[in-house]
Structure 1
Amino acid sequence: MKTTLTTLSLLALATPALAHPVTVESCNRQVTFDAVPQAAVSNDVNLTEMMLVLDLTDHMVGYTGINGWNKLDAEMRAGVGELPELAERYPSKEVLLGAGADFYFAGWNYGMRVGGEVTPETLQPFGIDVYELYESCAHIMDKPVASMEDMYTDLLNLGTIFDVSDRAETLVAGYRAELAAILEELPTDGDAPRAFVYDSGEDTPFTAGRYAMPNALIAAAGGVNIMDDFEKSWATVSWEAVVERDPEIIVIINYGDVTAEQKRAFMMENPAFANMSAVQNDRFVVLEYVEATPGPRNIQAVRTLAEAFWQQ
């Protein structure tokens, strides 16, 4: 049969264009994916939820790093379905290899440690590509202060990697619109409430600096993180510094063995905090871990904070 230009044009129209290979920016690396990952693993509850909202469970072989610190709520239990938890805390390289993983969605201090056993460099020889949570890049490179764009960036990059960009863009557009509606309801006058993020710790508090997601959530809700000049992501500070900056409201992160109510009681009953405005006025607001870390529940977290900040 003689092949004509018309025949070739029809064949081209009948054959869908392949989206891959694609290249995305992951922290300070350019990572190229030759094909859509088919055996992905996500670490931590918030990263796993990003995979769920993009409907990527068919491309996953499991998740890690949840039950060691958190519990899945009913919505997430339904979402992960039959997927196994491969490790309750950080996975070893052997765990990922044993699962046949070809993709690991994690972050620095979200499933990987600088200089640790599991990093993009240690997994690459085994054919496991890594995409790093953007917020966590502050641990290894200079990046802008945390913003809502951090979460949007991850969803859009995952959309590119898994060839579901339309789905990711629709989600992000919806989140932007929802956030805009919240911002329209905020007061236009008055001083921004001073907030302190209390994650954990009694001798010294573990809190969120300017590169951690709560800094962005507080700012979006019209407040100011009293540690917004702290050139860290999540780290410890002194109680003296907290008292000196006199927060008007305490944002408690709820997870782990110490409950939010126990954290509140510790601050309310400690004489060292008796003159702190937040303690004197008993102003506390609770965010679940999955709300306070980058992920789909960040928008609801902003709403929760805004209601607490501007309550009449």
Structure 2
Amino acid sequence: MLTKRAVAVGLAGALCLATAACGASSSPTTQTAAGTRAAGYPVSIENCGQSTTYTRAPSRVVVMNGASVAEVSALLALGLGDRIVANGQSYGMSEVAGRAEAIKALPTGDIKLNDAYDIPREAMLGLRPDLVLSTTSYGFDAKNGFATREDLKAVDARTYVSPQGCDQDTSRMTVEDSYTLLRDLGKIFHVGDRAEKLIAASKKRIGDIAAEVKGEKTPNVMVVFSNMAMGGNDFSSVAANGIWNDVLAKAGGRNAFASASTTSFADLSKEKVAAEPVDALVVISYNDPNPAAYARTLLKEFPQWPAAKNDRYTVLSDSIYLGPSNDLAVDKIARMLHPDAFAQAGRG
């Protein structure tokens, strides 16, 4: 199990994909000599109150940890894996076939991580990046031992904080933020056409699912991280607000504990959890080798739940987070919640 500090830091900013081949491919943009402009440039990105201009596509990208895989998965989905010189992100599993293996194969920069399980300032500068991606602004905070955006700008490195990460409050995040991430990276790397194809495919799939579940009852769903401790109560890793609520809504469900906290996560007692009529369970695995076992244990612990009586649960990893595969989470959850709707449509 991760430490409380690592989980709290990472998961608060991990918000954390359209299906695409996840292997690296060669860049569509030919790089020009340093200091010159490549075709399609300059482009500017507004990010956390800063405007950053790119005169060419980045070629030395560092992806900070943040307990997320949104950024690295988006890069792979866009065919930009060959630009990564150091990747700090990994979940160990994915709904996308081959993605976890592709992430594992990326260079890590051989960095000794700091107490926040991320890349410290001097090591970051030593990597000579031209673009650094962070899930939240935490990754550029000097108080935490990281290189600041100003530090990196001084060595001609651009920086990017993912959508809703500027104030480190991911409770407002939606699937649309995943599309923003793809569009921004598409613009930065001059592969906007790829980004738009991924977005269009995701929107179509989600729209088709919404049509299948229209008019169905809306079950209460508990979303919880398997075998994690983030607070002082028995259930301190319950998802309350954020992108998972949008995913649930698109799948025809609702978060049973959305009102339990105003933040992304709720820290709940066993009594509070037991009192809620949970119709279905979504267990999110973060490097847990057997999240299904955790789900079965939880259902056994609360036999009064409709979810326990119907053995209704599913396990997810990266698709319910910010990133390019939210449509996979919507599809998997919708089929769990509304199997009859898909059976009647001949798509079960």
Q: Flag whether TM exceeds 0.5 (same fold).
A: yes
Q: Distance in 2 between matches of 1:74 and 1:183?
A: 24
- 8 A Cα contact 2:256 2:278, kept in partner: yes
Taking the aligned partners of 2:51 and 2:270, their CA distance within structure 1 comes to 40
Q: Which moved more, 1:72-81 or 1:202-211?
A: 72-81
Counterparts in 2 of 1:84 and 1:226: CA distance versus 1, 3 Å: same
* Counterpart Cα distance in 1 of 2:42 and 2:272: 49
Q: TM-score, normalised by structure 1?
A: 0.80
Asked if 1:239 corresponds to 2:270, the answer is yes
- State the SS of the aligned residue for 2:52: strand
Residue in structure 1 matched with residue 63 of structure 2 by the alignment: 42
CA distance in 2, matches of 1:221, 1:31: 36
Report what 2:208 is aligned to.
181
Q: What RMSD over aligned residues (CA atoms) do the two structures have, in Å?
A: 3.0
Change (3 A) 1:268 1:174: closer
How many percent of aligned residue pairs carry the same amino acid?
27
Q: Match for residue 10 of structure 1?
A: none
Runs of 4+ in 1 over 4 A off after TM superposition: 71-74, 77-82, 109-115
Indicate conservation of the 8 Å contact 2:38/2:55, yes or no.
no
User: Which residue in the other structure is 1:70 paired with?
Assistant: 92
Q: Distance in 2 between matches of 1:121 and 1:196?
A: 41
Provide the aligned length of Structure 1 versus Structure 2.
Answer: 288
Question: How much does 1:113 deviate?
Answer: 6.8
Q: Give, in angstroms, the shift of residue 304 of structure 1.
A: 0.2
Paired AA for residue 225 in structure 1: N
Larger Rg: 1
Post-superposition CA distance 1:90-114 (Å, at most 9, x none): 2222332222211112212996679
Q: Which runs of 5+ in 1 are unaligned?
A: 1-15
User: Would you say the 8 A contact 1:218–1:224 is kept in 2?
Assistant: yes
In 1: Cα distance, 2:100 partner to 2:157 partner: 26
What SS class does the counterpart of residue 205 from structure 1 fall into? Answer: strand
1:128 to 2:157 alignment = yes
Q: Secondary structure at the match of 1:185?
A: helix
- CA distance in structure 1 between the partners assigned to 2:270 and 2:53 by the alignment: 45
CA-to-aligned-CA distance 1:106-147 (integer Å, 9 cap, x gap): 21299667942235355433433221121434625xx88332
CA distance in 1, matches of 2:105, 2:216: 50
Provide the rounded CA distance (Å) in 2 between the counterparts of 1:243 and 1:122.
49
Paired residue type of 1:167: R
Code of the aligned partner of 2:309: Q
Can you list the C-alpha shifts for 1:63-89, whole angstroms capped at 9, x where unaligned?
1132xx525786236645963123584
**Aligned counterparts of 2:54 and 2:124: Cα–Cα separation in 1:** 18
Q: Hey, what's the Cα distance between the residues in 1 that align with 2:255 and 2:191?
A: 35
Q: Distance in 1 between matches of 2:143 and 2:151?
A: 10
Deviation of 1:235 after TM superposition, in Å, equals 5.2
- Read off the aligned partner of 1:195 and give its amino acid letter: V
Given residue 82 of structure 2, which amino acid in structure 1 is its aligned partner?
D
- Which residue does 1:172 correspond to in 2? 199
Distance, in Å, in 1 between the alignment partners of 2:289 and 2:130 is 36
Q: 1:30 to 1:17 in 2, by over 3 A?
A: closer
Normalising by structure 2, report the TM-score. Answer: 0.72
Give the letter aligned to residue 268 of structure 1.
L
1:145 aligns with 2:172: yes
The alpha-carbon deviation at position 51 of structure 1 amounts to 0.2
Alignment partner of 1:216 is 2:246: yes
CA distance in 2 between partners of 1:183 and 1:23 (Å): 35
User: Structure 1 283/115 Cα, relative in aligned 2: closer, same or farther at 3 Å?
Assistant: farther
Equivalent residue, structure 1, for 2:130 = 102
Alignment match of 1:51 (pick from 54, 58, 75): 75
Contact 1:196 1:242 in 2 (8 A): no
CA distance in 1, matches of 2:49, 2:168: 11
